[in-house]
Amino acid sequence: MKRLTATQVKLIRVKLAAEQGNRCALCGGQLGLKAPLDPVLDHDHKTGAVRGVLHRGCNSLLGKVENNGPRYGVRDILAFCGGLSNYLRKHMTNITGYLHPTHKTEDEKRLLRNLRARKSRAKKKENP
């Protein structure tokens, strides 16, 4: 194992990004220049091992999953993440036929915005 110096981080990030085809090792998207798509050097916080180059946003979300999973009772992060992809893919369409009671459709949101706007205009007319 070789510990990188702070000045080596950029060189290694550029090298690894090129080896990855300038794509995020997590989502496969093209690495960009500005946040949240700018490239960062990802590492394992337990071991310090450099893993690859990710989008800043992907790296941030990965850190949240790894660091907060145990707080929510997730004992096996790898099993969770493996199941996550399959679960979301399976439910890309509503296969249960139910909607959650707190969910608002786009039409319901629009009607609510319009109602609030009408009330606000009426209030302004009353108190000029």
Residue with tokens 């194992």: 1
pTM listed for this prediction: 0.77
Asked if residues 37 and 29 have their Cβ atoms less than 8 Å apart, the reply is: yes
Give the tens place of pLDDT for each residue, 15-73: 999 999 999 999 999 999 998 899 999 999 999 999 999 999 999 999 999 999 999 99
Q: Among 82, 83, 35, 76, which residue's Cα sits nearest to residue 59?
A: 35
Domains of the chain: 8-76 (3.40.1800.10)
Q: Classify residue 5 by burial, with Cβ atoms within 10 Å: 0-12, 13-18, 19+.
A: exposed
Q: Is the dihedral of CA 5, 11, 17, 21 positive or negative?
A: negative
